[in-house]
Every structure is written in structure tokens, then in C-alpha cells.
Structure 1
Amino acid sequence: MPATPARPELGPRGQAGAATFAEIRLIPASEVHDFLAAVADVADQVFTRPPWAEPREAARAAAERLAADAPSPGFTFAAALHGDQLRGFAYGVRCSRLALLASRLPRHDFTLKELAVAPPARGYGLGRMLHDALLATAPSTSWWLVTHPQAGAALGLYRRRGWRAAALRPGPQNRPRLIMLRETSH
């Protein structure tokens, strides 16, 4: 698929910098293996920090989940690249498991499984661009995701993009996880 370049934006301090320009690319499932080490590194930087505070091995397992999900129906993977460096990623698949966990009837569901932006690249709109690129390719009537209920920046992004809380469930180590839903007008 053709690359979708992101436009440079001012960062958190109003300055243009090295992380201000990233190319958002949709990566075909056949090329996912080329990104696994970089996905593990970004996930390690993101998911070992609060509020997730996952052990390093659990955080890095995002790459294994990505590889396992690549053959799934509706698989979509978006990468934020600065040159050859991965700054962030998002991926999802067609899946109704979260609808069932939220006591909803499944209806052509898509689950945004992971979205992460490396800390040095935050504040430049990459999370929004990854989110939008991923969901633009996901025909669905209901989109689902799971996040930490104290992930302030992520919750802000999701709410601004039309997501709403659907259920609160226990997650790993019995820590709470928020299931969110975004319904489209398809």
C-alpha cells in the first residue's frame, strides 16, 4: 500500500524537532516479521511504564501477539516511521471478543489490539495519525479496544476520536482494564 506521509507538527514544547516528521505506513501482513524487533522495543518503552507497569517480558510480547494476529481476518498494521526507525505502531483485526465481554451482541466488529508511541516521539500527533490510518482501513460498524483506566493521554485521544467506555473488566494480575467502543454509521 502507498505510504501516507504525516505532516510535520510542532511538538510538546512548540519546537520542530527530530521526531516531528514521521511517515505513517500501512504494512502488509507479509512484511510484519521485518518489524517485530522494533515493535518489541517500542512496546517495552511504553508498557513497562505506569499505568501499565508490565514486566519487560510481558510488554515485549506485543511483538509475538502481532505476529500471531497477522494471518487473522481484517488484519491491519500501521507503523510510524522516522527514516528506518519505528516511532510507534497500531494494529487490529476483525474480532467480536470484546463485544461479548462487554455484554453486547457482535456486529461486524473490529478490535484495535495495540497502539503505542515511543516516549521520545509523543506530543507530535503520532498516536492520532496511527489511530486514524488504522481505522480508515477497517470497515466495521463497531470498533473495540482495551486500555488502562488511568492511561490519561490514551483516554484523551480515544475520547476525542469518538470512543466511549463500555465495560470495566479485570486484566493481567487482576488490574482493571477499560473496554471502549466506537460505533460508526455504516
Structure 2
Amino acid sequence: MAFLAGPRLLDWASSPPHLQFNKFVLTGYRPASSGSGCLRSLFYLHNELGNIYTHGLALLGFLVLVPMTMPWGQLGKDGWLGGTHCVACLAPPAGSVLYHLFMCHQGGSPVYARLLALDMCGVCLVNTLGALPIIHCTLACRPWLRPAALVGYTVLSGVAGWRALTAPSTSARLRAFSWQAAARLLLHAGVVPDLLWAAHHACPVD
């Protein structure tokens, strides 16, 4: 993959302080670079190259396969479900590619903080938009409850996302998403009896 001769890479001690979050990665750090320098790092070996390409290949795969395999014709008036599913699939790898590619930007810690927030936004979107089609389908036997459940979960996800973006630590970010996990668990626990009943009966027409 080393198509171009890259700059001299740094060891952990010589890397910028905001990039010294993993003491077990001893070397291979890119020096502070301009935007074009960050793009150029796509073509020489360094310790983020694997992260960039694995997320990038996933992004390209989703861009091709998700819209192509979505049963758009069967969704009808619920076509928005397909759109939210596509965005939910694309957001995490897109945010991760930008984060890993530009994390060595010469703008330093402020730019890095924005990139980390962008990466977290991808996680927030997959937890939010990715759940909306599930909630919509879960409430097939209670269509009257769908609007309240979808709006409520979206608002709750906004709060969880804000808490994750402003969290002071990794553990605090994980705790922020526990709100969403609890909401989905309670929702699914409440409708499982409906789903079991629906397996032997016809749900009301939406």
C-alpha cells in the first residue's frame, strides 16, 4: 500500500499529546499534517492505515449494497424506513473514515475534538435511525402507538447523543447510550406478547 514515500513517522512519546491515548501503540504516528497531507497518508504505511481502509471499504460496500438490496417497492408509504436505514448504515463508517484520516491534522487538539465528535455522531445516528424501522415494525399490532414511540425515542436519542458528545470520558459516553438501550428493552418487552399473539392471528390493518 506504500505507493508514496511518506514523512518520517513518530513514536508514541514524540506524537502530539492528544494522540497519546493508547500507550501500547509504540510507533507509526503521522506528524502534524495539512489537509492535503492527511489525504496523502492514504498511500503510505502508518498506524492508522488499517482503520482508514477497513472503515472505508465498509462504507463503499454499504453505498453499493444497501440501496441496491432495499425492497423499495414493498415499502410504499413507509419508504422513509429505507432512507433511515441507509443513513444509519452509512453514518458510522463515514464518521470513522474522517476521524482516522484527519486525526493528525495540524489544527491540533481542537480539530481532533471535532473529529471525535463527528465519529460519535455516526454512532448516535446508527443507534437512533437504525432503531426507528425496528420500532415501527415492532408496533405492527399497535399502529396508534407508533407516532408517540418514534417521536419519544428520537427525543430520548437526542438527549443521549448530546450527553455522549459532551461526556468527559469513554465510560461516560457508554453510559449515555444506556438510555437508548433501556428504552428499547422496555419497548420490546412490552410488545413481545403482541408478537406472539400476532403469530397466530391477523394484526389490525394499518
Q: Tell me the TM-score normalised to structure 1 length.
A: 0.28
Larger Rg: 2
Structure with a larger share of its residues in strand: 1
Q: Tell me the TM-score normalised to structure 2 length.
A: 0.26
